[in-house]
Structure 1
Amino acid sequence: MLRFSRQLDYGQPAPDFALPDTDGRIRTLAEFAGKKALLVAFICNHCPVVLHMLPSLCDFAREYAPKGLQVIAISSNWPDEFPEDDYPHMQAFAKEWDLPFPYLYDESQDVALAYNAICTPDFFLYDGDRNLSYAGQYCPSRPKLPHPPLPGVPPMRTDLPVTGEDMRRAVDAVLAGRSIPVEDQTPSSGCSMKWQPGKDPWWG
């Protein structure tokens, strides 16, 4: 089911986390304290929107790492509906794509709830003080998704290349110490988060 990011809590601090990466190492928010900016991306293995933009996101992470940006990807999907989203498949996925950033497993889904994540991909960009500066799309490009047009919903195929232009502008602003007006932020959109029974929030 199609979902749009909620774009909440601008200026609020990044919620803490302690999650295993695909090598089994526990990674924490404090570990990246020295970085000038932090991008937390909620993704998963199966989502066609994620797969559409992932090569560009990997290149983007490699390009901006020397400038002070730390990218972290988190998968919070409950794998009953899509078994390819489970932890062993995440480990294989990280190797297959040679991900240049940690890919963390949020098995309890508590971190997704803390960040108000609702879709994949869902992006949260924090400044050097770890306050939320941007919660929007990577860029306007979308893949062709197998559903008919929905009333009031932008078309999910734009025929635009994946450039990361929105995220690039946002990260450049954060690294330069500039604010990003909320009205200039377009919601991300993609597959709905897959919640485990009894865990799904009212807004999920």
Structure 2
Amino acid sequence: MASMPPICDFGWKAVDATLISVDGKHHSILGEAGPRGLVVAFICNHCPYVKAVIGRIVRDARDLKELGIGFVAINSNDAGAYPADSYENMKVFARENAFPFAYLHDADQVVARAYGAACTPDFFGFNADHELQYRGRLDASRKEEGATDLRRDLFEAMRQVAETGEGPREQIASIGCSIKWREPV
């Protein structure tokens, strides 16, 4: 079922946490920031919305690094109910797609809850002071990869953040599969 996150809460401060990455090491979310900002992306391995654009996510992460913007991806889905999103399958997905960024496992879903993550993909773009400046879509793609000439919404917003410290006031929310929350015990 498709889900959409709320609009950007400008100035909201990024939450730090240390999680295990697919490289077997623990990474701090804020430790992945570049000198001009950070994108925190909630993704997973099985979502058709993520699968449709994973190549574009990788491209934008590489291009943003050149602008001084760091990038980190987090999988918070319940792997018990969705085995395709297990930590072992995260390693495979990252390798198959040549991730140039840390792909972190939020097994207890604490980070997703702290961020208010709603869907996969869900993008949070922060400036150098770790203040939220973008909560929008990658581009106009949905479950199918869009045309090659689509406007790169995330990239352009984060370019503006790198240059000015502020994101665009007009933003279009991402859309994707809902976060797969564990049932309360």
Q: What TM bracket, shorter-length normalisation?
A: over 0.9
- Indicate the SS of the match to 1:176: helix
Residue of structure 2 equivalent to 1:118? 118
Is 1:143 matched with 2:150? no
Residue of structure 2 equivalent to 1:28? 28
The alpha-carbon deviation at position 181 of structure 1 amounts to 4.0
Residue of structure 1 equivalent to 2:85? 85
Tell me the number of residue pairs that the alignment of Structure 1 and Structure 2 aligns: 185
- Indicate the SS of the match to 2:164: coil
Residue of structure 2 equivalent to 1:186? 172
Residue of structure 2 equivalent to 1:196? 182
**Distance of 1:2 and 1:30 partners within structure 2:** 29
**Distance of 2:178 and 2:13 partners within structure 1:** 24
**Distance of 1:93 and 1:127 partners within structure 2:** 28
Is 1:3 matched with 2:19? no
The alpha-carbon deviation at position 161 of structure 1 amounts to 3.6
The alpha-carbon deviation at position 32 of structure 1 amounts to 3.3
**Distance of 2:112 and 2:163 partners within structure 1:** 28
| Paired residues of 2:37 and 2:126 also in contact (CA < 8 A) | yes
Residue of structure 2 equivalent to 1:52? 52
Is 1:169 matched with 2:173? no
- In structure 2, the CA distance between the partners of 1:34 and 1:180, relative to structure 1 (3 Å rule), is closer
Query: Cα deviations across residues 70-111 of structure 1 (Å, max 9, x unaligned)?
Result: 110000000233211010111111111111110000001000
Residue ranges of structure 1 left out of the alignment (5+ in a row): 145-156, 200-204
| Paired residues of 1:73 and 1:103 also in contact (CA < 8 A) | yes
**Distance of 2:85 and 2:140 partners within structure 1:** 25
Identity %: 37
State the 4+ residue runs in structure 1 displaced beyond 6 angstroms: none
**Distance of 2:107 and 2:151 partners within structure 1:** 28
- Indicate the SS of the match to 2:27: strand
- In structure 2, the CA distance between the partners of 1:36 and 1:26, relative to structure 1 (3 Å rule), is same
Query: Cα deviations across residues 161-201 of structure 1 (Å, max 9, x unaligned)?
Result: 4746111220111011153343x1111000011000118xx
- In structure 2, the CA distance between the partners of 1:34 and 1:95, relative to structure 1 (3 Å rule), is closer
Could you state the TM-score of these two structures normalised by the residue count of structure 2?
Answer: 0.92
- Indicate the SS of the match to 1:191: strand
**Distance of 1:40 and 1:163 partners within structure 2:** 22
**Distance of 1:83 and 1:94 partners within structure 2:** 16
The alpha-carbon deviation at position 138 of structure 1 amounts to 0.7
Moved more, 77-86 or 35-44: 77-86
The residue identity in structure 1 corresponding to 2:53 is M
**Distance of 1:135 and 1:30 partners within structure 2:** 17
**Distance of 1:4 and 1:118 partners within structure 2:** 7
The residue identity in structure 2 corresponding to 1:196 is R
The alpha-carbon deviation at position 143 of structure 1 amounts to 2.3
Q: Based on CA coordinates, which of the two structures has the bigger radius of gyration?
A: 1
Query: Cα deviations across residues 97-154 of structure 1 (Å, max 9, x unaligned)?
Result: 111110000001000001110100000000000000000111111125xxxxxxxxxx
Could you state the TM-score of these two structures normalised by the residue count of structure 1?
Answer: 0.84
- Indicate the SS of the match to 1:54: helix
- Indicate the SS of the match to 1:198: coil
